[in-house]
């Protein structure tokens, strides 16, 4: 019942926009429909990642684990994601007292748009610019997927390699909230 309601709303919107000779876009479930100036209705699948790629990936369970630098990748089924990384843990100098809990680290993260590319996964870094997300030129990670592990092996723009093991098929509430905030920038 919902589907036919969306179709009706889409058809109405397309008809209204056709009257003004403007291109329009309407989405229903997994297909986006484009209505061009020549009154042609074009449908194409909305971009999505396979279920085995969506979710969270990491070099460790936490950005604070161990003493080495860490990385985590959070990918939504629509391909929007966040890649976060931490510096290595500081080493106490001389007689400095040991800290309890995780050692302080520098952490940075940035949005990415993932898409399937030649049998692999391409992560394009996005940079927030005022009220929208834009591609960061030359900032691409190319990943291969190993189903046996499961693991993503990603090569960054500086040729460093990240090996990210599957942490979860689902995203945490915090990751989902951050991605929703990014989607508001993406829609501008």
CB proximity list for 61: less than 8 A, separation 6 or greater: 167
Kindly report, residue by residue over 103-150, the tens digit of the pLDDT: 678 999 999 999 998 889 999 999 988 888 899 999 999 999 999 999
The per-residue pLDDT for range 45-65, each reduced to its tens digit, is 454 899 999 999 999 989 988
Number of domains in the chain: 2
107 and 134 fall within a common domain: yes
CB atoms within 10 A of CB 117: 13
Please give the span between the terminal C-alpha atoms of the chain, in angstroms, as a whole number.
30
Whichever domain contains 120, its CATH number is 2.40.128
Give the global pTM.
0.70
Q: Within this chain, do residues 116 and 164 fall inside the same structural domain, yes or no? A: yes
Alpha helices (runs of H) in the chain, residue ranges in sequence order:
2-19, 173-186
pLDDT at residue 188, as a whole number: 63
Structure-token pair, residue 43: 């449908």
């Amino acid at each position: 019942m919902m589907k036919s309601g969306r179709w009706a709303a889409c058809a109405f919107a397309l008809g209204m926009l056709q009257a003004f000779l403007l291109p329009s876009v309407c989405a229903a479930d997994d297909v986006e429909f484009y209505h061009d100036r020549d009154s042609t209705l074009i449908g194409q699948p909305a971009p999505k990642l396979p279920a085995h790629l969506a979710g969270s990936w990491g070099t460790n369970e936490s950005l604070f684990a161990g003493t080495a630098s860490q990385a985590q990748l959070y990918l939504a089924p629509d391909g929007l994601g966040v890649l976060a990384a931490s510096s290595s843990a500081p080493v106490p100098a001389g007689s400095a007292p040991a800290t309890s809990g995780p050692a302080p680290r520098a952490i940075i993260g940035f949005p990415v748009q993932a898409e399937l590319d030649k049998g692999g996964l391409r992560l394009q870094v996005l940079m927030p610019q005022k009220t929208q997300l834009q591609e960061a030129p030359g900032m691409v990670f190319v990943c291969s997927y190993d189903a046996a592990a499961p693991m993503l092996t990603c090569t960054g723009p500086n040729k460093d390699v990240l090996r990210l093991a599957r942490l979860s098929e689902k995203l945490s509430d915090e990751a989902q909230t951050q991605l929703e905030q990014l989607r508001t920038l993406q829609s501008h």
